[in-house]
Structure 1
Amino acid sequence: MAQSVVVQVGQCGNQVGCCFWDLALREHAAVNKKGIYDDSLKNFFRNVDTRGAGDGVDISKGKICSLKARSCKKNKPLKHYKNAVLIDMEEGVVNEILQGPLKDIFDSKQLITSVSGSGNNWAVGYKFFGSLYRDQIVERLRQTAEHCDCLQCFFIIHSMGGGTGSGLGTFILNVLEDEFPEVYRFVTSVFPSGEDDVITSPYNSVLAMKELNEHADCVLPIENESLFDIVSKINQMVTSGKPGTTVKPESLVTLNKGGIKKKPQTKPFDTMNNIVGNLLLNLTSSARFEGSLNMDLNEITMNLVPFPQLHYLVSSLTPLYTLADVNIPPRRLDQMFSDAFSKNHQLIQADPKHSLYLACALLVRGNVQISDLRRNIERLKSSLHFVSWNQEGWKTSLCSVPPVGHSHSLLALANNTCVKPTFIELKRRFTKLYKKKAHLHHYLQVDGMEESCFTEAVSSLSSLIERYDELDATKDLPIEDQLRLNIVV
């Protein structure tokens, strides 16, 4: 049984990770009514014998309080722990998790925290805390990996704008390549918006991008601005007054209990984190449940990343909410496929239909037939631009278990040049600060940090943008001319 380890880094990484675990437990509770430890749970959960030591998690009731099972005699309880490592240089978020409903399913050996924080400085996270905590991080990762019968991949969840997420998050990515070179590294990176309140976020993001370019196998970029737009659309949907459109009082998509009441200039971070958790829920569905055409997680990298550095995948979801939190009349199956390729469902500010596809994966859940999938691919193909040498660049997956409260769902992952504007905007914001050398001294005060780190990082980003430019230049050429071009990537 292949297994995965989740590494949550920084405030954002731990908040998103918390949403994912909550969603996963509630989903397994709905499917596994008796709360029995089965193959679907083995991918992300392990068991520790705590007979007589209290409760763990009771998924049979859909609650997080006492899960029991695995390799023990009947009625002898074992405690469930997640295959996860939680890291943050501030204690706040991790302490909240340990005091919340998930507290009983984290082992103290899975946690690494400090008190001072990284001060929104990539160099502090990468250079200072990376060196200080390297041995402890390696030990925690090894302990967690050793509990896996067959370690398939690492999921790193972090943000790009802060200090710990960007700096220590990408340091850990480097460590994973050194210590586990054969294990794939999937990264979910949350990019800051243009109105981000961290003034140094362009520096942190560009410095982190260099590490992602060099050490990640697959990156799922997420933009805060896009998440906020999606939440606003959901709010409009549930307040539209259309028949059958309601939202549950305790929903994960409400900003306050009792209904959606958005305060002026308040961003619904819990709701935004829930959308990213939903992405991970669908991404891992084939690893957790049976299906007629399940996809191994490592097949995503194998099929969607034709060139090592062009490993950034644009993701879209439909529906955009989980666990039947929003009661909206179900959309037709064909409409679900159309939505996945629309601008409004992308988790970054992009429109893939007007850019060039290198490859595309469709991860479908629920009561969907292979014939439905093939029919919709044929229907959509004519409106999508694929590179000439990969006109049939589709990877598909069918998982039989749908999200709770829905008959079907779809996660689309596109290796598409539409990601380029995100990188161009990031470079523009970086250059605006760097021209004035603004705030640079805070970084150069950190041991091991030199100004060349900035020039190398922006050069790496520029090189990535140029590679996408080369591909985009072929989009409108006739197929025969595209085939003659020798694009060096």
Structure 2
Amino acid sequence: MPREIVTVQVGQCGNQLGQRWFDVMLQEYKAYPHFPEARDAVFLEGVSQPGRLTARCVAVDMEQGVLHAMLRGPLKDIFDTNFFVSDVSGAGNNWAVGHMEYGDRYIDAISESVRNQVEQCDCIQSFFVMHSLSGGTGSGLGTRVLGMLGDEFPHVFRICPVVMPSEVDDVVTAPYNSCFSLKELIEHADCVLPLDNDALARMADRALASGPKGRGMMASGVPQSHSFSAARPTDTKGLPYDSMNGLAAQLLSNLTCAMRFPGPLNMDINEITTNLVPYPRLHLLTAAIAPLSVSSKHAAVGPRSVDAMIAACLVPEHQFVDVRHGRGSAVTREAGRTLATALVARGPQITIGDLTRGVGRLREQMQMPYWNEDGFKTALCGVSPLGHKDSMLLLANNCAIRGKVESMLSKYERLYSVRSHVHHYEQYLSDAYFTHTKETLRTLVDDYAYLDTAPPPKDVPRSMKDLVYY
């Protein structure tokens, strides 16, 4: 039985990321057509037109430019306009306009579109809610949609790949938008995958530099021999941020591979939340993938070792969140305590023994809490990723993520302390909402800080032998 994922992509960033996600999914289906369940997880095959695939997605934007571009692009045939919701004027980089004004106006239409998509699923596993944090439509309306999904589909997991703003953002109200969005994500998401703009740019530069540009290799590291015409190199495709979105799409592909394809250790999406989120609101996961890019010449050579891929995931150049300004890893013991970790490996030559040995190496590199010293979840997919023989995805719920939240909060407080630009939001939000947002984020930072530094009680059993005599 297929286990479906319905994608809800909101705003310019969310729709461009979603388009790239379905691009990679199409490439995988072309490379591995003998796995129909992997196809059915993200696409619906037409009944009247067998062989025609339609993306299981709802696309929302309050400007029509990106949606029209999707319908003119090479992937136009997989998108159904019946599941498009749009306006013409946009939210003007104002979270409150997207969340309140457009939310009130369009939430029923979006809800109906989502419900129709869910009714076409046999066993829905998760919603992917894609948007940015700093804009107006993506952050505002995106989080309004997230709340609606929690109300109407409370038993379906809500996974949120969200793009975090750069340290220097060109939107002056970005601190407000980002913090309002993060507050809603804390309250309504089951799992958040932050995609740091600065980290994505660094990873994309590294991936492009490591392989031939414009010949034989896409920006996402996928050989053109395995790709549709939609997947041309960035410099010929002309889409902004395509290489960065390609890396994010690879992350999501590896995240879902153990659910879509067979393997020795399968893993459903709900197991991510079950194993990596020990406390309901502490669900910001740091992700890393390796390898980032392999040239077509090297793709046919023997696989990289599991130890080498795990070691690569521990360096900042492979991590999707930059919490230490490029000066150190976001998941090792130097960064902070890791509450739980997951390793998702892809490749026919990787064994369970390789993963077991890799977990042992991670124990040496990570500081785990005394109450979850064995907090390592592993999954193994027997199908290779596109462009590589093997790959590794590392997910870590590390307390160092509080540094990113604290940076966002400090910018928010700096603006709000002098009530700068508050008048743009006063029509929709009260002062109490501003205060509640600050308190919610401060509580999140304090909770992560406490778990990072709290010593174990002196009388806690340290081993099974101690437990017997306890």
Q: Is TM (by shorter chain) over 0.5? A: yes
1:102 Cα deviation after fit: 1.1
d(CA) in 1 for partners of 2:451, 2:284:
14
1:254 Cα deviation after fit: 8.3
Partner of 2:39: 41
1:411 Cα deviation after fit: 0.8
Distance change in 2, residues 1:101/1:358 (3 Å):
same
d(CA) in 2 for partners of 1:195, 1:336:
31
1:4 to 2:13 alignment: no
d(CA) in 1 for partners of 2:433, 2:298:
46
d(CA) in 2 for partners of 1:280, 1:203:
28
Partner of 2:156: 183
Question: Pick from 439, 446, 452: which aligns with 1:472?
Answer: 452
Q: Number of residues paired by the alignment?
A: 440
Q: Which residue identity lines up with residue 334 of structure 1 in the other structure?
A: D
1:341 to 2:314 alignment: yes
Distance change in 2, residues 1:23/1:258 (3 Å):
closer
Give the match's secondary structure for 1:352: coil
1:109 Cα deviation after fit: 1.2
Q: Which residue identity lines up with residue 281 of structure 1 in the other structure?
A: S
- Comparing 121-130 with 271-280, greater Cα deviation is found at 271-280
Partner of 1:457: 437
Q: Which residue identity lines up with residue 10 of structure 2 in the other structure?
A: V
Give the match's secondary structure for 1:444: coil
d(CA) in 2 for partners of 1:141, 1:190:
22
1:322 Cα deviation after fit: 7.7
Partner of 1:393: 375
Q: Does structure 1 retain, via aligned residues, the 8 Å contact 2:216–2:296? A: no
Q: Which residue identity lines up with residue 19 of structure 1 in the other structure?
A: R
Q: Which residue identity lines up with residue 421 of structure 1 in the other structure?
A: G
Give the aligned CA root-mean-square deviation in angstroms. 2.5
Q: Does structure 2 retain, via aligned residues, the 8 Å contact 1:27–1:323? A: no
d(CA) in 2 for partners of 1:160, 1:482:
44
User: What's the TM-score, normalizing by structure 2?
Assistant: 0.88
Distance change in 2, residues 1:259/1:295 (3 Å):
closer
1:420 Cα deviation after fit: 0.8
Question: Pick from 263, 268, 286: which aligns with 1:296?
Answer: 268
1:441 to 2:423 alignment: yes
Partner of 1:31: 32
1:358 to 2:324 alignment: no
Give the match's secondary structure for 2:309: helix
1:422 to 2:401 alignment: no
1:30 Cα deviation after fit: 0.9
Partner of 2:194: 221
d(CA) in 2 for partners of 1:99, 1:222:
27
Partner of 1:59: none
Q: Which residue identity lines up with residue 177 of structure 2 in the other structure?
A: N
Partner of 2:15: 14
Structure 2: gaps (5+ residues)? 222-230, 324-329, 462-470
d(CA) in 2 for partners of 1:415, 1:313:
5
1:434 Cα deviation after fit: 1.2
Give the match's secondary structure for 2:278: coil
- Give runs of aligned pairs for residues 265-276 of structure 1, distance below 5 A: 269-276=241-248
Q: Does structure 1 retain, via aligned residues, the 8 Å contact 2:218–2:234? A: no
1:260 Cα deviation after fit: 8.4
1:317 Cα deviation after fit: 0.7
Partner of 1:282: 254
Q: Does structure 1 retain, via aligned residues, the 8 Å contact 2:218–2:233? A: no
d(CA) in 1 for partners of 2:131, 2:399:
23
Give the match's secondary structure for 1:382: helix
Q: Which residue identity lines up with residue 25 of structure 2 in the other structure?
A: A
Partner of 2:178: 205
Q: Which residue identity lines up with residue 419 of structure 1 in the other structure?
A: I
Distance change in 2, residues 1:37/1:386 (3 Å):
closer
Q: Does structure 1 retain, via aligned residues, the 8 Å contact 2:345–2:379? A: yes
- Comparing 10-19 with 403-412, greater Cα deviation is found at 403-412
1:433 Cα deviation after fit: 1.3
What CA deviation, in whole Å up to 9, does each residue of 1:319-374 have, x standing for no partner?
12489598697643311111112222110013210211110000100020000110
- Give runs of aligned pairs for residues 31-110 of structure 1, distance below 5 A: 31-32=32-33, 38-51=36-49, 68-69=50-51, 79-110=52-83
Q: Which residue identity lines up with residue 251 of structure 2 in the other structure?
A: L
Q: Does structure 1 retain, via aligned residues, the 8 Å contact 2:210–2:293? A: no
1:196 to 2:165 alignment: no
d(CA) in 2 for partners of 1:166, 1:360:
28
Q: Does structure 1 retain, via aligned residues, the 8 Å contact 2:94–2:173? A: yes
Distance change in 2, residues 1:130/1:323 (3 Å):
farther
Give the match's secondary structure for 2:365: coil
Q: Does structure 1 retain, via aligned residues, the 8 Å contact 2:214–2:234? A: no
Partner of 1:60: none
Q: Does structure 2 retain, via aligned residues, the 8 Å contact 1:228–1:268? A: no
Give the match's secondary structure for 2:396: strand
Distance change in 2, residues 1:391/1:254 (3 Å):
closer
